[in-house]
C-alpha cells in the first residue's frame, strides 16, 4: 500500500471516528433520570437558595425534557426544568415559586409547548381555567381597514388531587397558533421569533378558583425568584379576571 493510500485511509478513519464521537456526545439517547435525592443534591449545589427537600414527581414531557416540582425545607413550592444535553441531565432553570408558566421546548412549535405549575396548597386552588386569547383589534394599512375578531379558547384543569402538573397545549390551540404564525409570516409582521405568540394581543392566561368556585389569587405561589443554568424559552401565563372573559 502506497503512502498516499495509507494517508487517505487514516484521514477517512479519523473522520469516521470524529463523526461517531460527535453523535455519541450530542445525539445519544438519554439515560434514566437520576434518583430524587441526587436531583435535590444537584439543585442545591447549583442554587442553594432553592433549599430543595422533597421531589414531588418527575414529569416527562418528551425524551429530553423533564419537569420536576419540589418542596423546599422552608415549605415553598417550586420547580426545576431538566434537559438532556451533552450526555447528562442538568437543570437549566430552577424556580422557587410554582405559578403557571409556558415552557416552549422547541422554539416556536406549539406542539412542543407545555403549561407547567406547582401551586402551594395554602392557596387552596381546586381548579383552574386556562384560556388562549386573541384580543380583537383594528388597524389601517395601505388604505385598507382590517378588523381582527376576538378568539377565546378555554381548558379547565382540576387541581383537587395534585396542586402541580403539566398541560400540553390542546390540539385546537396548537392549530390556531400555527395558523396565526403562518398568517403573520405571510403579512411580514414583526414576528416574535422567540415565542409561539406572533402578536402581543395573543396570549395564554389563567383563572384559579377555590372549592366554592370563587376566583382565588394564589398569594403563596407568586413571590420568589429563579436561577438560570442554561438555555430555556419560557413565557408567563397572565392572570385573567372573570370579567375579562367573554361568554
Specify whether the CB–CB gap between 135 and 114 falls below 8 A. no
Given a cut of 80, is residue 5 above it in pLDDT? no
Pairing assessment for the beta strands 65-72 and 77-85 based on DSSP bridges? antiparallel
Asked whether 113 and 102 are in contact (CB, 8 A), the reply is: yes
Mean pLDDT of 45-70: 98
pTM here is 0.84
pLDDT tens for each residue of 168-177: 999 999 999 9
- Cα distance between residue 77 and residue 90, in whole Å: 20
Which pLDDT band holds residue 83 (cuts at 50, 70, 90)? very high
The pLDDT tens digits of the residues spanning 133-156 come to 999 876 666 677 677 789 999 999
User: pLDDT at residue 29 above 80?
Assistant: yes
pLDDT at 243: 85
Contacting residues for 42 by C-beta, under 8 A, at least 6 apart: 34, 90, 91
Which grid cell is 15? 473522520
pLDDT grade, residue 52 (50/70/90)? Answer: very high
CA separation (Å) from 130 to 20, 108, 125? 45, 20, 13
Give the CA-trace dihedral at 165, 212, 217, 101, to 10 degrees. Answer: 20
Give the per-residue pLDDT at 1: 57
Condensed to tens digits (0 to 9), the pLDDT of residues 183-236 reads: 877 766 555 555 788 888 899 999 999 999 999 999 999 989 999 999 999 999
Long-range contacts for 31-38 (Cβ within 8 Å, ≥24 apart)? Answer: 31/89, 33/58, 33/66, 33/82, 33/89, 34/89
Q: Is the pLDDT reported for residue 44 higher than 90? A: yes
State percent of the chain over pLDDT 90: 68
Amino acid at each position: 500500500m502506497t503512502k498516499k493510500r495509507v494517508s487517505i485511509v487514516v484521514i477517512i478513519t479519523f473522520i469516521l471516528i470524529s463523526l461517531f464521537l460527535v453523535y455519541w456526545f450530542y445525539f445519544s439517547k438519554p439515560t434514566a433520570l437520576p434518583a430524587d435525592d441526587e436531583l435535590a443534591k444537584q439543585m442545591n449545589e447549583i442554587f442553594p437558595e432553592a433549599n430543595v427537600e422533597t421531589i414531588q414527581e418527575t414529569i416527562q414531557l418528551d425524551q429530553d425534557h423533564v419537569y420536576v416540582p419540589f418542596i423546599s425545607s422552608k415549605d415553598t413550592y417550586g420547580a426545576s426544568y431538566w434537559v438532556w444535553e451533552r450526555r447528562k441531565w442538568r437543570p437549566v432553570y430552577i424556580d422557587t415559586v410554582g405559578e403557571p408558566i409556558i415552557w416552549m421546548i422547541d422554539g416556536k412549535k406549539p406542539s412542543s409547548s407545555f403549561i407547567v405549575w406547582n401551586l402551594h396548597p395554602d392557596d387552596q386552588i381546586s381548579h383552574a381555567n386556562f384560556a388562549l386569547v386573541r384580543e380583537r383589534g383594528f388597524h389601517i394599512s395601505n388604505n385598507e381597514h382590517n378588523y381582527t375578531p376576538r378568539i377565546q379558547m378555554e381548558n379547565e384543569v382540576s387541581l383537587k388531587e395534585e396542586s402541580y402538573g403539566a398541560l400540553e397545549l390542546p390540539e385546537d390551540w396548537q392549530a390556531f397558533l400555527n395558523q396565526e404564525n403562518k398568517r403573520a409570516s405571510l403579512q411580514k409582521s414583526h414576528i416574535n421569533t422567540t415565542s409561539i405568540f406572533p402578536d402581543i394581543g395573543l396570549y395564554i392566561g389563567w383563572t384559579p378558583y377555590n372549592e366554592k368556585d370563587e376566583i382565588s389569587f394564589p398569594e403563596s405561589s407568586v413571590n420568589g425568584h429563579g436561577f438560570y443554568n442554561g438555555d430555556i424559552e419560557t413565557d408567563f401565563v397572565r392572570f385573567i379576571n372573570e370579567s375579562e372573559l367573554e361568554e
